Amino acid sequence: MAARGRFIPKNPGKYLGDPNRIFFRSSWEIRVMKEFDTNPSVYKWGSEEIKIPYIKPTDNRVHHYYPDFLVVYKDSNGEVIKEIVEVKPLKETVLTAKSSMYDKMQIVINEAKWDAAAAFAASHGMRFRVLTEVSIFGGKMNKTKKTKPSKPTIGTKGTVKSKGSKWVQIILKTFSKIKLKMHFH
């Protein structure tokens, strides 16, 4: 997941914000950016273009959360959907017995951010989703941390029929329904 850099869109007119100032902080984010930029079902998208205040539970002070993405797309039913999307490793979204103390703290902080994002989205007629390696790649990461797209593990009604990659179909399916408990906001 470790990658940082500047993203140069092929379709700068689709970008919500300054298309010369798009930065990614992970290989997963750049993959999502490429799909948003080139997918014909996506009308507009932006990266860290929204500022949402939240109370950080570790210090009870107001901080600001900049979700990874805002995307406007047409689903398979022809409905235009506006959605706030966060990309996170699964280990920072689901508490397990094996979770490190750092991961446990990140989950608590992330939940505060996501609760604020969900409230913001609801008040603006949008949705909020968290995408993990499971929802992005449809399976587990291999030992070298390279990704292999596979069949989606998350089923939905009315999947998008697109000439794009399987991953495009997977990500648009996840927009419709994510079955991980912590992802419903």
**pLDDT tens digits, one per residue of 28-40:** 999 999 999 999 9
How confident is the model at residue 99, as a pLDDT?
Answer: 86
Whole-angstrom distance, CA of residue 69 vs CA of residue 36 = 10
Q: Hey, which residues are catalytic here?
A: 29, 68, 88
How confident is the model at residue 9, as a pLDDT?
Answer: 97
pLDDT at position 127 over 60: yes
- Averaged pLDDT for residues 147-170: 33
Q: What pTM was computed for the model?
A: 0.73
What is the domain range of residue 148?
2-183
CATH label of the domain that carries residue 129: 3.40.1350
User: Number of folded domains in the chain?
Assistant: 1
How confident is the model at residue 136, as a pLDDT?
Answer: 84
How confident is the model at residue 63, as a pLDDT?
Answer: 97
**pLDDT tens digits, one per residue of 43-83:** 999 999 999 999 999 999 999 999 999 999 999 899 999 99
DSSP one-letter string for 16-40? SS-TT--EEEEHHHHHHHHHHHH-T
